[in-house]
Amino acid sequence: MQAMLQSPVNLGQARKIVRRLANVVCLLALTTTSWAQTSNRSLPVLTHADQVRQLSPEQAAMGYPVHIRGVVTDDVPAPDFFVQDSSAGVYVEGAQPVHFTHHFGDLIEVEGITGPGKFAPVVIEQSSRALGRAPLPKSRTYSFDELADGQLDSQWVQVRGIVRAVSVDRTSWRETTLAMRIAAGGGLLSVRVPISDEQDFSSWIDSEVLLEGVCGSLFNAQRQLTAVLLYVPRLSFITVAAHARAVPLSSLLTFSPGPGMEHRVRVRGVVGYQQPGKALFLQAEGRGLRVLTEQETKLNVGDLVDAVGFPAMGESAPVLKDAAFYRLGSQAPVDAIRLDITVPWERYDGAVIETEATLLGRDVQADGVRFLLQQEPDHILFDATLSPVGSAMPLLSVPLNSQVRVTGICLVQSGGLWSVPQAFRMLLRTPHDLVVLHAPSWWNLRHTLWVLGGTVGVLLLVMAWIVVLGRRLREQMELIRQKIRSGGVLQERNRIARELHDNLEQELAGITMQLDLAVDCFQQAPRVAQQALETARNMSRHSMLDARRSVWDLRCHLLEEGDLVSALRQTVQPAASHDHVKVDVSVTGAPVRLPASIEMNLLRIGQEAVANAIRHGAARSVKAVLQYDENKVRLSVTDDGQGFRPQDTTPSGHFGLLDMRERAHSMGSVLQVESEPQRGTRVAVEIPVKEQVTR
């Protein structure tokens, strides 16, 4: 716009634009008026404000034509205004022209149609014409109860009351206004006054005032009245009277024969804690006072202030509402009061107190960190809150069940018919208000459970490892057994090889010598030749037995595939069937598995004993008994053969006894031989057993 005014060309262009806009506006107005007249041609024209107010919302929505004359009682919020004639006042929704042609106090003619409005019927402006100035309507003073039913909506009224709060409102309307709350006859109403210059109106608080203005209404979406709003057109329509008085804190809301506490009071105290824009806690006379205020002026703990507000009933003690405060200076903070549960709790409301407690829990919330504490020694539970969350971070590491000293603002909660104090909570000001006196022992239930769980886990791992090791150990032991068996077989084979090399070779050499002797003496000494042949034959038989025994020694797989009893039966039965001898193998006791070397030696002793009984003793019946006792195993072989004298040391035909004795000696035992000529023979060996594995 400033650029358009810099040259005549721009100015001419601006005028043309304005004229074109005016022509468009006039055309739209004529079109709207013509349409309204056509559509509402059958509806009567309303000429008084009370006729509009008597319409229902449905009737007002039909758009009755309106043509009334009255005085403008308020011209804000623009472009709407109030107009009142001799019958009543009504709200007019303005047509929002570029320049208003009506102002407060003007006598005007308004043409338009009716509308339902949001609470009461209104007039929708189509055109208006100022006729000059006119006096305001005369009115009387109304009580709050008369205003609170909504019937005086849009009417010029007078109200008397006490100022509870004042502030400057720059956002509600286009105009900057002074916002006030007025206590009038037991109720509160809001006031809006347009102002051109912002001033400090705080001195009006607690003043008695007389106001003139238009009664407005605040409502909800269901067209229901929620509050009363008084439109005061100018500051000149407010008359200010009395001011506040100072009282001691202890006299708040106490009985007095003088005037009541409808007016505000002034209380002086030291700041104990502040919640900016919400509350201020003052300390005086050994008590605390909760001051509710929207003032956001920052204060420090220890500041001396005057608080001016309206006494009201709190949960358990008086509070100040709608308060303002003024800083007078600073001094040392007031010492905290020691909490004594035996005295009435309400004396601590709003005061700075301290007590010792046990920390039971904590919970991080949106407005801060809440601590659950148990007061000692009375075991009373209470909450302590520190906000914001960031300032409480150092306290989140305090162990639960710690003994702590808590300092803060006490807020007492009352309940029941008689408003008896039932609980209290505390507001912590800084993290230093919670001091740890004694940390709990590390061995608490939680840590014990953790340690127990860890120990159980380790034991389970150890047991699993033991099972794995046991399996591996059994596998290794089996491999060792196989190696031992293989080594035993190899050792036995080496022994047999030595026997074949030593005994069998010597015997064959002896047989050859005897045969040579027989050939040499066959002609000259037949008897000597005959004796040499007999000796060679005996030696040949013995060599055959040694060879057979050596072959039997190679058949150790019988023990690997079965037990000692089955192996003994399988080795002696072939010899018995060949010589038509009855051999009986029996077992007493519970058979157990013996070490491989012992089972092999017992098998060889049994084989040799049975073979000797058949070959040398010419026995017809042989009985082998394996007796298993708890700590020993006994093998005995009895035959009914020819027998012999055990003290006979002649080696001929008795090489087997020597082998059996050697085997018994290797097992730590002694071979027992009982025999007499023609009475058979009994061979026995007894082996002590220390460790047995039952199959």
CA-CA-CA-CA dihedral for 468, 473, 476, 480, to nearest 10? -170
| pLDDT, tens digit, 9 for 90 and up, residues 370-396 | 999 998 777 899 999 998 877 878 888
pLDDT number for residue 509? 67
Name, in order, each residue with C-beta under 8 angstroms of 546's C-beta and a sequence gap of 6 or more.
Answer: 499, 500, 503, 504, 507, 655
pLDDT for the residue 510: 67
* Separation between Cα atoms, residue 41 and residue 124, nearest integer Å: 17
User: Residue 658's pLDDT band (boundaries 50, 70, 90)?
Assistant: confident
User: For 582, left (φ over 0), alpha (ψ -120 to 50), or beta?
Assistant: beta
Mean pLDDT of the chain: 82
357 CB-side CA count, 13 A: 28
| pLDDT recorded at residue 117 | 92
- What are all long-range contacts of 36-39, with beta carbons under 8 Å and residues at least 24 apart? 36/63, 36/65, 36/113, 36/126, 37/65, 39/63
Residue 364 has pLDDT above 50, yes or no: yes
457 vs 691 pLDDT, higher one = 457
Q: Which domains does the chain possess? A: 40-133 (2.40.50.200), 155-240 (2.40.50.140), 245-252+261-330 (2.40.50.140), 337-438 (2.40.50.140), 442-554 (no CATH), 563-695 (3.30.565.10)
Q: Is the pLDDT of residue 266 over 80?
A: yes
Q: How far apart are CA 220 and CA 226, in angstroms?
A: 7
CA distances from 637 to 103, 211, 564, 584, 587 (A): 146, 140, 15, 10, 12
Distance CA 298, CA 108 (A): 51
Contact assessment for residue 397 and residue 369, using Cβ atoms and an 8 Å cutoff: no
Unique residue bearing structure tokens 């659950």: 372
Percent of the chain with pLDDT over 70: 81
- The confidence score (pLDDT) of residue 24 equals 46
Residue 529, pLDDT above cutoff 90: no
Mean pLDDT value across residues 149-171: 90
pLDDT digits (tens, 9 = 90+) for 588-614: 988 888 888 888 888 888 888 888 888
Burial 109-148 (b: 16+ CB within 10 A, else e): ebbbbbbbbebbbbbbbbebeeeeeeeebeeeebebeebb
What pLDDT, in 10s, does the model give residues 660-672? 888 888 888 999 9
Q: What local confidence, expressed as pLDDT, does residue 695 receive?
A: 45
Percent of the chain with pLDDT over 90: 36
- The closest alpha carbon to 127, from 20, 37, 17, 15, belongs to 37
Residue corresponding to tokens 């509350």: 279
10 Å Cβ neighbour count for 576?
Answer: 18
What is the per-residue pLDDT for 281?
A: 95
Q: Which two tokens stand for residue 618?
A: 């010419």
Q: Which segment of 20-29, 214-223, 389-398, 598-607 scores lowest on mean pLDDT?
A: 20-29
Gap between the terminal Cα atoms of the chain: 117
Is residue 14 over pLDDT 50? no
The neighbour count for residue 439, using CB atoms within 10 Å, is: 12
Residue 534 has pLDDT above 70, yes or no: yes
Higher pLDDT, 429 or 244: 429
Q: Please report, to the nearest 10 degrees, the dihedral formed by the alpha carbons of residues 288, 291, 296, 299 taken in order.
A: -20
pLDDT tier at 644, thresholds 50, 70, 90:
confident
Q: Are 403 and 355 in contact (CB under 8 A)?
A: no
Nearest to 117 by CA among 70, 51, 52, 204: 52
Asked if the model's pLDDT at residue 112 lies above 90, the reply is yes
Give the pLDDT of residue 562: 75
In sequence order, the 6+-apart residues with CB closer than 8 A to the CB of 459 are: none
With beta carbons less than 8 A apart as the criterion, state whether 590 and 631 touch. Answer: no
Residues 354 and 336 sit within 8 Å (Cβ to Cβ): yes
Name which of 47-51, 201-205, 510-514, 675-679 the model is least confident about. Answer: 510-514
Q: What is the pLDDT of residue 608?
A: 85
Q: Which residues does 306 contact at the CB level (< 8 Å), separation at least 6?
A: 266, 267, 268, 325, 326, 328
Q: pLDDT value at position 502?
A: 54
User: What integer pLDDT is reported at residue 164 of this predicted model?
Assistant: 84
Residue 6 has pLDDT above 50, yes or no: no
Question: Which has more confidence, 273 or 487?
Answer: 273
Is residue 303 scored above 90 in pLDDT?
yes
pLDDT-based confidence at residue 321 (cuts at 50, 70, 90): confident
Q: Mean pLDDT across the stretch 609-625?
A: 86
Tell whether the model's pLDDT for residue 408 goes beyond 50.
yes
Residue 404 makes CB contacts below 8 A (sequence gap 6+) with 356, 357, 358, 359, 373, 398, 434, 435, 436, 437
Q: Which residue has the higher pLDDT, 286 or 547?
A: 286
What does the pLDDT look like over 548-593, one tens digit per residue?
A: 555 555 545 677 677 888 888 887 776 666 567 888 889 998 888 8
- The mean per-residue pLDDT over the stretch 346-368 comes to 91
Here the tokens at position 148 are 């609170």
Closest CA to 185 of 149, 225, 142, 228: 142
Exposed / middle / buried, residue 92 (Cβ in 10 Å: 0-12, 13-18, 19+):
buried
Instruction: Give the pLDDT of residue 27.
Output: 42
Pairing of strands 352-365, 318-330: unpaired
Which of the four pLDDT bands, split at 50, 70 and 90, describes residue 116?
A: very high
**pLDDT score, position 424:** 92
pLDDT score of 79 more than 70: yes
Is residue 4 over pLDDT 50? no
- Lookup: tokens for 583: 């051999």
Least confidently predicted of 29-33, 154-158, 209-213, 371-375: 29-33
Q: Which of 45, 68, 179 is nearest to 131 (CA)?
A: 68
Of 80 and 7, the structure prediction assigns the larger pLDDT to: 80
pLDDT of residue 286: 87
Q: How does DSSP assign 180-200, residue by residue?
A: EEEEETTEEEEEEEE-SS---
CA-based nearest residue to 210, from 191, 187, 229, 186: 191
Lowest pLDDT segment from 43-57, 74-88, 474-488: 474-488
In a 3-state reduction of DSSP, which class is residue 480?
helix
Q: Please give the residue that has the higher pLDDT: either 451 or 658.
A: 451
> Average pLDDT for residues 245-270, to the nearest whole number?
70
Mean pLDDT of 494-505: 59
Q: What is the pLDDT of residue 42?
A: 84
